[in-house]
């Protein structure tokens, strides 16, 4: 068409094709079918469409999402088990062993795997570790190699219970998922 750019022409053709496809899928007939006398009555086609409408597919998480969720929850379960066995080194094994690891609690920021281990040793000697539990865990994958986790934690120490919420950022490493940032309140 004169005066219409190629891009605009292409968009018009695509739009017309989409309208035609929609009309045909909704039970419309082509011009050739109408001329040949083989066009289906619209009502019959609509009734058939109602009868053959497929049931919605069950919603499934993609396999990678399911695997990431399970792997990350396994990390938290392993941490909890190590804590409850009074094995602080086992608990710390799931933190990224790097000086770039960050941990926030209240108004304090701890940087580095060694500094975090020292903080835990100071605040939770074996006789004060108590029993750790996690609840309401929500895992959100941020691509193939990163995720964040929301949840609640509690530690029962005799008659006392401490608890709060946490946000973790994890990174998939060659050794598995590791916590690279922990914000605990």
Least confident window among 14-23, 30-39, 95-104, 145-154? 14-23
CA distances from 130 to 35, 123, 160, 161 (A): 83, 12, 9, 9
Work out how many domains the chain is built from and give that number. 2
Residue 10 lies in a domain: yes
> What integer pLDDT is reported at residue 47 of this predicted model?
54
Task: Tell whether the model's pLDDT for residue 20 goes beyond 90.
Answer: no
pLDDT at residue 165 greater than cutoff 90: yes
Instruction: Indicate the pLDDT class of residue 100, thresholds 50, 70 and 90.
Output: very high
Same domain assignment for residues 156 and 180: yes
Same domain, 87 and 175: yes
Cα–Cα distance between 120 and 179 in angstroms, integer? 15
User: Is 1 a domain residue?
Assistant: no
pLDDT at res. 16? 45
Which pTM was predicted? 0.65
pLDDT digits (tens, 9 = 90+) for 101-159: 999 999 999 999 999 999 999 999 988 899 999 999 999 999 999 999 999 999 999 89
Which residues form the domain of 47?
6-51
Q: What is the pLDDT of residue 55?
A: 53
Say whether both 121 and 166 belong to one domain: yes
75 and 164 housed in the same domain: yes
Residue 98 confidence (pLDDT)? 97
Rounded to the nearest integer, the mean pLDDT of the chain is 79
What are the percentages of helix, strand and coil residues in the chain, rounded to 5? 40, 30, 30
pLDDT of residue 25: 42
How far is Cα of residue 130 from the mean position of the Cα atoms in its chain?
31
Mean pLDDT for 13-22 is: 43
Which percentage of the chain shows pLDDT scores above 70? 64
Q: What pLDDT does 51 receive? A: 56
Enter the DSSP assignment of 54: P
Q: For residue 128, what pLDDT is reported?
A: 87
């Amino acid at each position: 068409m004169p005066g219409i750019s190629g891009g605009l022409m292409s968009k018009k053709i695509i739009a017309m094709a989409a309208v035609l496809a929609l009309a045909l899928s909704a039970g419309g007939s082509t011009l050739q079918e109408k001329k040949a006398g083989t066009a289906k009555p619209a009502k019959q086609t609509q009734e058939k469409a109602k009868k053959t409408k497929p049931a919605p597919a069950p919603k499934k998480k993609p396999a990678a999402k399911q695997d990431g969720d399970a792997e990350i929850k396994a990390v938290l379960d392993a941490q909890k088990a190590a804590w409850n066995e009074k094995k602080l080194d086992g608990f710390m094994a799931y933190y990224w062993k790097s000086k770039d690891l960050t941990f926030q609690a209240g108004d304090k920021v701890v940087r580095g795997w060694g500094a975090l281990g020292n903080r835990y040793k100071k605040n939770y000697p074996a006789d004060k570790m108590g029993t750790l539990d996690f609840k309401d865990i929500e895992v959100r994958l941020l691509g193939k190699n990163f995720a964040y986790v929301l949840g609640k934690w509690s530690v029962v120490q005799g008659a006392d219970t401490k608890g709060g919420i946490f946000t973790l950022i994890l990174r998939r490493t060659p050794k598995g998922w590791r916590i690279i940032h922990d914000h605990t309140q």
